A and B are shown apart, each in its own frame.
Chain A
Amino acid sequence: MLLLVIAMIAMILVGLYTPMLEPARQKLNFLTVPFYQLTDVPRRIGEWSEDLFTSRSDLQAENVQLKTELLIHQRKLLQMAALAAENVRLRQLLNATDMLQDKVLIAELIGVSPNPLSHLVVINRGNRDGVYEGQPVLDAFGLMGQVIAVDEESSRVMLISDPTHAIPIQVNRNGVRAIAEGTGDLNQLNLRHVSINADIREGDLLVSSGLGERFPIGYPVAEVEKVVRNSGQAFARVVARPMARLDRSRHVLLVFDTHSLAPSPETVPGGISSSSTSSAASVPVRR
């Protein structure tokens, strides 16, 4: 008994302060996947029955609505194409490298880490689809987080609100750079070491700055909610609210870094498609 307790304490300390247990954990991680897949079954049955028992009129109504939405988005895309072309021309004038189009892959959430102190989720894409550690994850509204562990068919994603996560950002309005850390609260990020006279206001949009070469540049991360400037302190306290719906999004986008993808895009059959502005995004959703 005492021996076991001492062994466990030793194991905790070794696991916390050295990477010695990581290989074992990675080897055994495949054992945990069936559990997450099993708990995902009720949702899949729900979705399947919903697909099966939809009435024709509902489908038609949905179809009409989707067509309208498509039209609206296509109009926006037309404008975007012109703007993107202009952007490339201007960048060429400035002798800057033109922005690369990111490749994306759609994934589905299949589980949530049960530890209430960590903000980790499990998605249904893994090694087989070319997912790699450190890959950025988005939803339709903003940056969600990054992949921290990859298995054969699933991977774990750390959300930006996790207390051990931080992301380099800049203010969209004027380019002031800072680092946004998670707080463990889903609706709150704190900006670290923002000097007291920095030009950050409530309502500012914070986008990823691309520094650190982990997250692609220019994706919305959060909106500034509160700025407290206390003249007795060296730094201002800036609180921001994440743009991504961390608690609600079921479908997420995995963004492929174009540099690391360069060698062989064929290795991922059919999974990846370009989210370029010209082709109406045809991202396949596998179920």
Chain B
Amino acid sequence: MIPYQWSKYFIVVASFLVALVLSVYPLPLSWRWWRPELVLLMTIYWVSVFPLTISLLFLCVVGLFQDLLFAVPLGQHSLAMMIVAYISIMSYRRVRNFALWKEAAWVFVLVIISQIPNAWVQTMAGRPVPGLLYIAPAITSALFWPLFRQGMERISSHYRIS
């Protein structure tokens, strides 16, 4: 048997790996805006599970790896992730009492906030964001959140992670 502590780490790391794989799954070029920000959703979920013990350094490394994977300036996604993780840690007591649809609305706001540093860095890199399209991932992420949350809760309870 794997010790409890280890299985916890294993699940967290594995879930991030799965999210990263899904986030590079090839979509037609013009549909890429509508991909839910899975890595970010994973961050929001694990922060809500371990609000006091989650390591920001670990999230930072995940973000850097995502930058490497996406071939964007190093630091872009980790900066967005830091900001979202910080807001989530500050607000987890309130969000814990939200209904699922309210939580989805909160996720919508968080993903839009994460898009701000992304848009900022990309614009500096010479790729301006066209119009309001950067809201697209927030919409799909928020719509996906209830399903995602239920699925992740089932996995966590199966491995007795809390």
Contacts and interface: CB of A to CB of B under 8 A. Distances in A.
A142 interface: no
Give chain A's interface residue range (CB within 8 Å of chain B): 35 or more
A88 B34 CA distance: 52
A113 B26 CA distance: 8
Contacts of B60: 4, 8
A120 interface: yes
Given A8-B75, A12-B73, A118-B127, A112 B29 contact: yes
A281 to B, nearest CB: 28
B22 to A, nearest CB: 8
A115 B79 contact: no
A119 interface: yes
B72 A115 contact: yes
B30 to A, nearest CB: 6
Interface in A122-155: 149
A35 B56 contact: no
B122 interface: yes
Q: Most chain-A CB neighbours within 10 Å: which of B35, B68, B71, B127?
A: B71
A32 B75 contact: no
Interface of B: 20-21, 23-30, 32-33, 35, 56-57, 60, 63, 65, 68-76, 78-79, 82-83, 86, 121-122, 124-130, 133
Given A5-B79, A11-B74, A114-B69, 18 more contacts: A1-B86, A5-B82, A8-B78, A31-B68, A35-B20, A112-B27, A112-B32, A113-B70, A113-B71, A114-B32, A114-B35, A116-B33, A118-B72, A119-B29, A163-B126, A164-B125, A164-B127, A184-B130
